[in-house]
Amino acid sequence: MTSFKSILAATDFSVDGNNAVRRAALLAHEHGARLHILHVLNAAGCKPLRDWFSPTLDFDLKAAQARDALRRLSVEISGAYDLTASVEVIVGDTFETLMQASEHVDLVVLGRRGHGRFKGLLVGRTVDRMLRIGGRPVLVVKTSVHGTYRRVLVPIDFTASSDAAIRVAGRMRREEGMHVFHAINSKREAVLRDADVPEHVIRESRLMEEGAVNARMRRKVSRLGLDGASMNYALAYGHPVRSTLRHAHRLGADLIVTGKQGRSTLGNFLLGSVSSRVLSEASCDMLIVPRPLDSSPPEAAKAVAARRNSERYIDNAALAQSAAAHAGALTHDHWIHNKARFVSRRSS
């Protein structure tokens, strides 16, 4: 996959902000990319200080302090990651400045929240607006940098958004491969239980569904041009937030890569407040990738919506009869063994 060529890192000199710069520097070193480090001074935010305190808090002094802090940070990463970064202090609106600066880069790297004495750039609201509106992949750094990402989790929903996430995740260097994951809606199984379908029929129906989804994930990765031999595939039943967080914990994932659809951070896989929960509750870094502008509305999403609408009126007896018929066609040596509700397979 194509490497990143240019990376933008923004910092307010808080712990999270500087960790974002260090992660961006490591990625720039790995990809041979240009790195630009940015700090934004909001003049409106400094005005109350000038009104209430002494001239030592003059705006020009804060700008000089920021430039000096950036130079020190640049020297640090130059020695640690063998690269030379450009640095810049800009006076203006925080969000608008960041949006403009991100127009010509491949990746934007931000800390989750800012708490330093230059507070104002990376507060949660600015990051959230970048995730909703920005047109570039945004890496939200929540952890210290101890090396390259080793376990990358990519939750997918088979839309153009998750396709974009898979492609960008393929650029990240990994030691233990990439983990492609899908959460299966368990409503079908609930309908079967409500219809008093025998447990063995439900079990066989579940096996069929797991096999179909697993095969679909493998075909998706292959069609996107990635080497499936280095991939791990996993699926789970349940709510996408709980399933994603649980699987990330099981893996010890240090990065989650997701796609976003329009103004929704994670598209149809994780919608609205769900996306915020994953970002806020996950203990690892998170990379959010926008859907390509030239891609049409995903047909998979339309199909899912149509299926859900039809399920509202489905005949339980007909569904039970269909499940029993499918179960009869299965053999006991099916390639997915139903030892647990969670199934994970690694390609050979």
Q: What is the pLDDT of residues 285-325, one digit of tens each?
A: 999 988 776 554 444 444 444 544 444 444 444 545 555 55
* Residue 147 lies inside a defined structural domain of this protein: no
Based on the fold, state whether residues 137 and 156 are members of the same structural domain: no
CB 166 within 8 A of CB 154: yes
In this predicted structure, the answer to whether residue 7 has a pLDDT above a threshold of 70 is: yes
The percentage of residues in the chain with a pLDDT greater than 70, rounded to a whole number, is 69
- Mean pLDDT, residues 121-136: 73
pLDDT at 270: 44
Give the whole-angstrom CA distance, residue 184 versus residue 239.
8
Give the whole-angstrom CA distance, residue 70 versus residue 79.
14
pLDDT at 241: 86
Give the whole-angstrom CA distance, residue 208 versus residue 161.
26
Give the whole-angstrom CA distance, residue 132 versus residue 308.
26
The percentage of residues in the chain with a pLDDT greater than 90, rounded to a whole number, is 36
- Mean pLDDT, residues 196-206: 81
* Residue 169 lies inside a defined structural domain of this protein: yes
Mean confidence (pLDDT) of the chain: 76
pLDDT at 341: 39
Least confident window among 32-46, 128-142, 150-164, 234-248 = 32-46
Least confident window among 80-94, 219-233, 330-344 = 330-344
Predicted TM-score (pTM) of this structure? 0.76
**What domain range includes position 25?**
6-141
Least confident window among 48-57, 71-80, 245-254 = 48-57
Based on the fold, state whether residues 159 and 304 are members of the same structural domain: yes
Name which residue leads in pLDDT, 54 or 20.
Answer: 20
Specify the CATH number for the domain of residue 47: 3.40.50.620
Based on the fold, state whether residues 336 and 259 are members of the same structural domain: yes
Name which residue leads in pLDDT, 340 or 62.
Answer: 62
79, 109, 141 — which closes off a domain?
A: 141
In this predicted structure, the answer to whether residue 115 has a pLDDT above a threshold of 80 is: no
pLDDT at 325: 53
Name which residue leads in pLDDT, 266 or 194.
Answer: 194
Based on the fold, state whether residues 120 and 84 are members of the same structural domain: yes
Ramachandran class of 160: left when φ > 0, alpha when ψ lies in -120 to 50, beta otherwise: alpha
Q: Report phi then psi at 191, rounded to 5.
A: -65, -40
Name which residue leads in pLDDT, 306 or 171.
Answer: 171
Name the band, by pLDDT with cuts 50, 70 and 90, for residue 85. Answer: very high
Run of H or E residues at 325: helix 316-328
Based on the fold, state whether residues 248 and 113 are members of the same structural domain: no
89, 117, 141 — which closes off a domain?
A: 141
Name which residue leads in pLDDT, 182 or 188.
Answer: 182
* Residue 22 lies inside a defined structural domain of this protein: yes
Residue 346 β-bridge partners: 232
- Mean pLDDT, residues 311-340: 43
pLDDT at 300: 44
Mapped onto helix, strand or coil, the DSSP state of residue 327 is: helix
Tell me the range of 6-20, 30-44, 186-200, 248-262 where mean pLDDT is highest: 6-20
Domain count, the chain: 2
Name which residue leads in pLDDT, 197 or 89.
Answer: 89
* Residue 11 lies inside a defined structural domain of this protein: yes
* Residue 253 lies inside a defined structural domain of this protein: yes
pLDDT at 73: 92
How crowded is residue 64: how many other Cβ atoms within 10 Å of its Cβ? Answer: 12
* Residue 1 lies inside a defined structural domain of this protein: no
- Mean pLDDT, residues 40-58: 57
From the number of C-beta atoms within 10 Å of its C-beta (0-12, 13-18, 19+), residue 276 rates as: middle
Give the whole-angstrom CA distance, residue 312 versus residue 301.
17
Based on the fold, state whether residues 172 and 283 are members of the same structural domain: yes
* Residue 51 lies inside a defined structural domain of this protein: yes
From the number of C-beta atoms within 10 Å of its C-beta (0-12, 13-18, 19+), residue 225 rates as: exposed
In this predicted structure, the answer to whether residue 256 has a pLDDT above a threshold of 60 is: yes
Q: In the 8-state DSSP scheme, what is residue 293?
A: T
pLDDT at 153: 94
